[in-house]
Structure 1
Amino acid sequence: MRLGVQVPSFTWSQDQGLIGDTFATIAARAERAGLYSLWVMDHFFQISMVGPAENEMLEGWSALAFAAGHTNRIKLGTMVTGVTYRHPGLLVKTATTLDVLSHGRAYFGIGAAWNEEEHKGLGVPFPPLAERFERLEETLRLAHQMWSGDEKPFNGTHYHLERPLNSPLSVQKPHPPILVGGSGEKKTLRLVAQYGDACNLFARMGKDELRRKLGILQDHCQTLGRPYTDIEKTTLDTLHITKDGRNNTLSPNAAIDLFGNLAEMGIDQAIFNMPNVSDPEPFDLLATRIVPEVEKIKVAGR
């Protein structure tokens, strides 16, 4: 089983000049701890579930490029890019650039977008949900085309590209893994089965609901003739890890048990954010006690 860390907040100090140094330290610690991946949200305002909109928020793809320069092995992805934020041709080019410069470490995390506040605040059009899903599917089709090297014109309902040239092509073949975020049963999980390489589900929905969602994904794969085992199953959670589980936090043993339970359900990679991510303690525990044990855990169905 694999573990990844998400960094959803950059509010660590009153001194904004320390943001870059702190984030670089977190990325380096995550890599040294043996984590498989590092993720940032792709938002322009902080989201209400994490903090006030005015809190510091870095642009996701630039942040990942910065992290790539401070690491050598860890995979890098957005959790996830809203399809409305960037023109899809430019988005694929951006993801390809990260993959090339990081020697093949990019994930392409993408979803239908939801945060209307930041769209209105920055003047980004926010179409109705049905249209956003149409745009998402066109973007996924275009990504596959551009990463295959096919330059023929792309004519969708919403996007028209005369020559979707993408040079250089990505290092990862056939392309960086595409993670489609969300758990919608009729559209999102169908898009995962048809175009994606990974899904991401909230761990907090509970064991029974996770199993049900995975069953729906499996049904979509069967309908489309896609092997269910082709899809990397990931979860997202918030975990506060300390050496002794003080103040209702997770001890290393409790964390290992949690990850083991996810693996029994077929989860390949558990991604989590940590309230104490700017402290060395959780990364020391991950490196010495958690990651070595979790790497031994066999994922059901693999």
Structure 2
Amino acid sequence: MEFGIHIADFTWNTGAAQLGSALAAHVRNAEAAGIRRITVMDHFWQLPGIGPVEHEMLEAYATLGFIAAHTETALLHTLVTGVIYRHPALLAKQVSTLNVLSGGRVGLGVGAAWNEQECRGLGFEFPPVAARFEQLEETLQICRQMWSDSDGPYDGALWQLERTLNSPQNVSRPYLLIGGGGEKKTLRLVAQYADACNLGVRDELPTHKLDVLRAHCEAVGRDYDTIEKTAMIGIDPSSSPDAIAATVRGLEGIGFTATYVFSVGIDEPARVVDLIAEVAGRV
């Protein structure tokens, strides 16, 4: 099992004024501990359930650029980008720019978006769910085309691009992950377009979701085993290494190969890294 650290909470005991130096130390510490992936949310306000909306939240792609400059080996991406926040050509260019500057370590995690409160607050359009999934599919198509050898036009229902030129091209084809477990649309898009899925895990293992994904793969002629299955689990100050390790062993047993860990209510980043490293030693 490969471990990733998902940085969902930036409200640390160092305070906002020292957030840059604290984040740099955190990601260097994570790499030194053997953590192979580092991700951030693509939100502008903190999420309910993690903290008050007024708590610190950094813009995702500027943050990934900062993290790339302070790391050497980790795979970096959002978990996950809300498709409604950026024009798809801009998103493809942002990812490929970071991919080049990081030596091929930056990929794309993407989903249909859900945070209506945040959108209304900041003035982002928040289309109905069917429209957001239409945007997601065309975004996937545009990104894949811009990351290919083709610079031809793209003619979609929503977006028309006369020339999908993208120079410099990626150092390595960006890792493409779709987040969410929606059975009718999200997992179908995973089967059709993605390198990986990401499923949240709480009380039960998502065995049924994998069965649904397998069925979508069969429907579109995709080899199910070519899709990486990744999970996201949360920890808090009461989390025990034994309990987390048991969950991770269960995930590994049904085919998951990577677990992203986020923390709630832990204001010392080093504690998160230490706990992940301890769990990794027990799996």
TM-score by length of 2: 0.94
Distance change >3 Å, CA 69–CA 160, structure 1 → 2: same
Distance change >3 Å, CA 67–CA 52, structure 1 → 2: same
Among 229, 252, 255, the residue aligned to 2:244: 255
Partner of 2:216: 220
Equivalent residue pairs, number: 282
Partner of 2:66: 66
Distance (whole Å) between structure 2 residues aligned to residue 73 and residue 235 of structure 1: 21
3-state SS in 2 of match to 1:214: helix
The alpha carbon displacement at 1:278 in A equals 2.7
Partner of 1:291: 280
Partner of 2:196: 198
3-state SS in 2 of match to 1:95: helix
Determine if contact 2:84/2:126 at 8 Å carries over to the other structure.
Answer: yes
Query: Do structure 1's residue 234 and structure 2's residue 230 form an aligned pair?
Result: yes
Query: Do structure 1's residue 278 and structure 2's residue 268 form an aligned pair?
Result: yes
- Taking only aligned residues, the RMSD between alpha carbons, in angstroms, comes to 1.6
Distance (whole Å) between structure 2 residues aligned to residue 56 and residue 147 of structure 1: 33
Residue 255 of structure 1 aligns with an amino acid whose one-letter code is I
Higher deviation after alignment, 109-118 or 6-15: 6-15
Distance change >3 Å, CA 2–CA 103, structure 1 → 2: same
Residue 200 of structure 2 aligns with an amino acid whose one-letter code is F
Percent identical residues: 45
Among 160, 169, 183, the residue aligned to 1:185: 183
Distance (whole Å) between structure 2 residues aligned to residue 33 and residue 283 of structure 1: 7
User: Gapped runs of 5+ residues in structure 2?
Assistant: none
Map Cα deviations across residues 65-109 of structure 1 (whole Å, 9 max, x no partner).
Answer: 100101100111101001100000000000011111111111200
Distance (whole Å) between structure 2 residues aligned to residue 135 and residue 95 of structure 1: 18
Distance change >3 Å, CA 212–CA 277, structure 1 → 2: farther
Residue 184 of structure 1 aligns with an amino acid whose one-letter code is G
Query: Do structure 1's residue 211 and structure 2's residue 207 form an aligned pair?
Result: yes
Map Cα deviations across residues 238-274 of structure 1 (whole Å, 9 max, x no partner).
Answer: 1247xxxxxx4213x4433321111001111011112
TM-score by length of 1: 0.89
Distance change >3 Å, CA 45–CA 282, structure 1 → 2: closer
Distance change >3 Å, CA 45–CA 28, structure 1 → 2: same
Map Cα deviations across residues 253-299 of structure 1 (whole Å, 9 max, x no partner).
Answer: 44333211110011110111124363424424544x433454xxxxx
Partner of 1:111: 111
